[in-house]
Structure 1
């Protein structure tokens, strides 16, 4: 399709892409599990101090650089300086490689829930492979499939992310409608509502100051991923109006959706009963709590409707199956956005001379060779982790620790660069929310402090629990990725200087 007739993202398509990249339904169920109704306060606080002001910054950036293909790199390079921008963008990109390894092998758990009603992945053993090895092989095939389909262009990605966004929206509809029906039929909330419930967690592990701070970090990270769509500004129809509108609408809907969703969980979930008796022999973890909770919703709905115990159990299983299908479709949608958008921003935004010429080749407006190399790296890491035994799995835990902080430090880079963006009068700004210098400074200070605090706490928390190595690797990650980026960019600068 020629550039003249290429379809661009509409407002609805953009909102659905943002929704699949940011909104995590499991963040609702995990929040209720960790803090009960008290989590609402911290999610609202995280939205006010980080998500909304940061979303408004991205809206201004996006409208100003509406014709730019480079996303966050160009925003920071034009507003602050190129080396600073390259370090932040490279660090951010490296964390998504590990995300792909993690989700590429983990996405089969919701699919198993969709098919069987429970996670049976550990029992899969075709051709004598172990459960972990089977997930590794499936993950490798998955990366190949996503890369091939994505390389066909944005139209194919748009269709999948729309399905993913719709699936996330529908599981919320199931939560809200199911919860309301149960509330109306029972005439009371399963988890009692009181002023105390909104400030104190029913979970004994989340009552100390340190644990509450760790939850604030969790709430901030629940809003991560919005910057990924920075690479889609040039793909958006009437970008200077549509992009800020899409980001703003998405940010408000996501913040309100989290708060209302957590409250609705209380219509069918009594914290003490659900997490101490209902699961039976099943140990509740952050990985399976969403399925246990939605299974419970179906079970409670059956009882509220007056059906038999056996029928209530079956309704619970079917709701759990639907939850698995929705999560599978949602993660698929997120995968299709994340397999190309961070890479596109890194390769197309940064100076071409930083990269081997081979990597800068584009087809269907996608960095096709770079996508293949990326797929090769992810596949190699999946194979190493899946077939390398305990040592390899320990290595992967190290990688996760290294990238936890690397994923969010670039938010601070973007926030700091925003000061330079607002100062530069030569940058045309067709959309502005921060109209005064004091508003801008306040927003930058608050966002930078909140993300900085979250990262410092993420680094020191493992050490307080005796896991010193996790703390060391959390610090080492940004340092290692930052040094690699500095070396690459310094080589580029020397090459440019010698040519000049």
Structure 2
């Protein structure tokens, strides 16, 4: 009975939690900026062929390894061993470095809109000046995180829910605006070519943003064994998540097409599109900038909360089940607030470099913002690769682990689907490395391409250094003890 009492989440609870964890309005805006209304077909393909199997694989692994503390690292450790578990944890931490470099920048954009109600604030500064401001914000919130302050995370939860509600409100009000308020539809060409992608090289350079948008489902896994009748209700909840994501993506893209001409997309839509959307929506409904200000405040708080959380959580995932053979003891040192202070220092160094270096070669703020966002779409999905590695390894170990829920009973088919998701993710990341929105073979194109290539290799390559340091330290400690 106690067990039944614990398993109290129903499929609809799980669906809402999963949707909040995975989705955001920015996903709609960023991918519309990349593809226009052709993104509708892209959403259908990515959700059906990638997102649905992804979340159901996560459900199976969460059910199998319900007691693990470190998520994907636990899955890898249990199925392959501690060395790959270390690299999985390192990847999860390392890919957050560009994310941490981008969050303060996004918060400044939101604050600019909230205070001045236009996008001119961020453009008033040179890239280097803006990046120095970004660095100052990052270092301040790094200090906040090091003090164990968690109240901002709770504020961020409220802000995130507010943004989610406003995102749905935007879709509903925008789709209704032509009928209710007589708003003109911006995209007037509704021919075949407006909706069907041209599957060429340029198109494939944008799919990493789609993968980035639907990733992160592994955050849902701890809840699978708290679900009532998980064999039936967990997959049902995950299917509802996929349906909600599909509806939000498709209707959101339609709403964007009604507001912004798909054949003449503003160049700064990635940076300012969310705020343009709520500003124009307020004008349609006669409330001025009220909706814009609400959304900008919620966005700023959400960005800063995500910054604090992402400074702390990935590092703790790396260290939670870290093997002393691979992670130097000095990195695990904590301060009186139980924060891994030396890990924070390493984070500060890498993020600081990530903030400053791009400003040396990217000449304007819009290009810098777009590049850093695109870089995140290249780097962040690399952590999803370990999800699929863990899943394939799990299904090869037939009979070794018990799970209350299985995505697919046939192990060979399950491994094939896991391999498909792995290869597709890798392909998307590689194609995403080619710069977008920059004239081919110019100095800026080569600069961005170089950074796109170097960043993941350097960040992941650093992971090979720590085991050597740990080995040297352990050998030194052994000699000290023996003497």
Please tell me the TM-score bracket, short chain as reference. 0.7 to 0.9
5+ residue gaps, structure 1, are 1-6, 202-206, 277-282, 303-314
- Residue 196 in 1 paired to residue 209 in 2? no
- Residue 35 in 1 paired to residue 35 in 2? yes
- Residue 324 in 1 paired to residue 293 in 2? no
Give the superposition deviation at 1:451.
0.9
Q: How far apart, in 2, do the equivalents of 1:491 and 1:377 lie?
A: 14
Match of 1:210 in 2: 201
Give the superposition deviation at 1:345.
1.7
C-alpha distance 339-255 of structure 1, shift in aligned 2 (>3 A): farther
Q: Give the alignment's Cα RMSD to 1 decimal.
A: 4.3
2:384 pairs with 402, 411, 424, which one?
A: 411
Match of 1:113 in 2: 113
Three-state SS of the structure 2 residue aligned to 1:434 is coil
Q: How far apart, in 1, do the equivalents of 2:282 and 2:183 lie?
A: 17
C-alpha distance 472-401 of structure 1, shift in aligned 2 (>3 A): farther
Give the superposition deviation at 1:182.
0.8
Q: How far apart, in 1, do the equivalents of 2:31 and 2:372 lie?
A: 25
Match of 1:311 in 2: none
C-alpha distance 164-442 of structure 1, shift in aligned 2 (>3 A): farther
Aligned length: 456
Three-state SS of the structure 1 residue aligned to 2:401 is coil
C-alpha distance 174-10 of structure 1, shift in aligned 2 (>3 A): same
Match of 2:400 in 1: 426
Structure 2 counterparts to residues 100-179 of structure 1, below 5 A: 100-119=100-119, 121-122=121-122, 132-148=131-147, 151=148, 156=151, 159-179=154-174
5+ residue gaps, structure 2, are 1-5, 479-483
- Whether contact under 8 Å (2:63, 2:224) holds in the other structure is no
**Quick check: 385-394 or 400-409, which moved more?**
385-394
Q: How far apart, in 2, do the equivalents of 1:131 and 1:350 lie?
A: 37
Three-state SS of the structure 1 residue aligned to 2:31 is helix
Match of 2:249 in 1: 258
Q: State the Cα deviation string for residues 108-166 of structure 1 (Å, max 9, x = none).
A: 210221232124544899xxx95554443333223323443xx367xx57733531331
Q: How far apart, in 1, do the equivalents of 2:17 and 2:344 lie?
A: 22
Q: How far apart, in 2, do the equivalents of 1:402 and 1:216 lie?
A: 13
Q: How far apart, in 1, do the equivalents of 2:378 and 2:356 lie?
A: 27
- Whether contact under 8 Å (1:94, 1:403) holds in the other structure is no
- Residue 373 in 1 paired to residue 342 in 2? yes
- After TM superposition, the score normalised by the length of structure 2 is 0.78
Q: How far apart, in 2, do the equivalents of 1:240 and 1:82 lie?
A: 32
Q: How far apart, in 1, do the equivalents of 2:137 and 2:401 lie?
A: 47
Q: State the Cα deviation string for residues 393-429 of structure 1 (Å, max 9, x = none).
A: 89x9999888754422332232133122012222121
- Residue 288 in 1 paired to residue 272 in 2? yes
Q: State the Cα deviation string for residues 289-315 of structure 1 (Å, max 9, x = none).
A: 22223322233334xxxxxxxxxxxx4
- Whether contact under 8 Å (1:30, 1:290) holds in the other structure is no
Give the superposition deviation at 1:74.
1.4
- After TM superposition, the score normalised by the length of structure 1 is 0.75
